[in-house]
Amino acid sequence: MKKPNGYDDCNINSNNTKPEAGGHKAIILNLEECKSKTGKDMVKVYFDFDKDDAQAGLFTAKYKANDKPDKKWPFDGTKWILAEDNEGNTNKQFKRFITAVEQSNNMTVNWEAKDFAAQFKKKKVGIVFGEEEREYNGKIYTDAKPQFFVEYKEAEKAKTPAVKELVKKDEPTDTPPEGFTPIPEPTEDDMPF
């Protein structure tokens, strides 16, 4: 076998540590105003666990350990929040985020700020992670994902949400649904050859 390109430089020591479910003390590294796929206003919050947290710097370590040329901030260190709900009213998750930042930093958000996002950089906030199931190659895995924001000092006391289980797919049955007429199995006489 020929030695693959970049074999000697390949980093096998990537950081695979996962965030733990429950409340975490975090610091907002960046906030972007953006649009959802359907054109709705939303914010993208990039954060890391603060120095006072049990998993301090987890996402920075993951980012630095990633040696891919197109590396991005870790998915689990990012939270997307729509500003409005489907009826055009304030999304409760968005209000909860703003309130948590204001309470954690003794500040009031300036809605007319020239650079709205800048006022969130380096601000403390609590974030609660909850476990979610996912399926991959027929197996079920559980990962902790960011669920909602809380006041910084309340983070460690925050209640961990129940596990979001995968929706169970109906088991296949041999009985057709009501009103369905089954098609008979073809015979050799039905074949065109």
pLDDT given for residue 73 in this prediction = 94
Predicted TM-score (pTM) of this structure: 0.78
pLDDT number for residue 153: 96
CA dist list (Å): 156 to 10, 52, 56, 72, 113: 38, 11, 13, 28, 32
Distances (CA, A) of 109 to 101, 104, 106, 116: 9, 12, 10, 8
pLDDT of 89 over the 80 cut: yes
Residues 6 or more apart from 52 whose CB is under 8 A from it? 25
Query: Is the CA virtual torsion 101, 151, 55, 132 positive or negative?
Result: negative
Domain boundaries, the chain: 22-186
Share the mean pLDDT of the chain.
87
What are 49-68's pLDDT values in tens digits?
Answer: 999 999 999 999 999 988 88
What percent of the chain clears pLDDT 70, i.e. is strictly above it?
Answer: 83
Q: Specify which of 2-11, 109-118, 162-171 reaches the highest per-range mean pLDDT.
A: 109-118
Residue 102 is predicted with a pLDDT of 98
By CB neighbour count within 10 A (0-12 exposed, 13-18 middle, 19+ buried), where does 97 fall? buried
Positions of E strands within 36-100: 41-49, 78-82
pLDDT tens column, 153-177: 999 999 988 888 887 665 555 666 6
Give residue 92's pLDDT: 96
116, 45 Cβ separation under 8 angstroms: no
Q: Which residue from 155, 160, 159 is spatially nearest to 145, judged by alpha carbons? A: 160
Residue closest to 17 by CA, chosen among 70, 68, 53, 69: 53
Q: Which of 154, 120, 141 is nearest to 22 (CA)?
A: 154
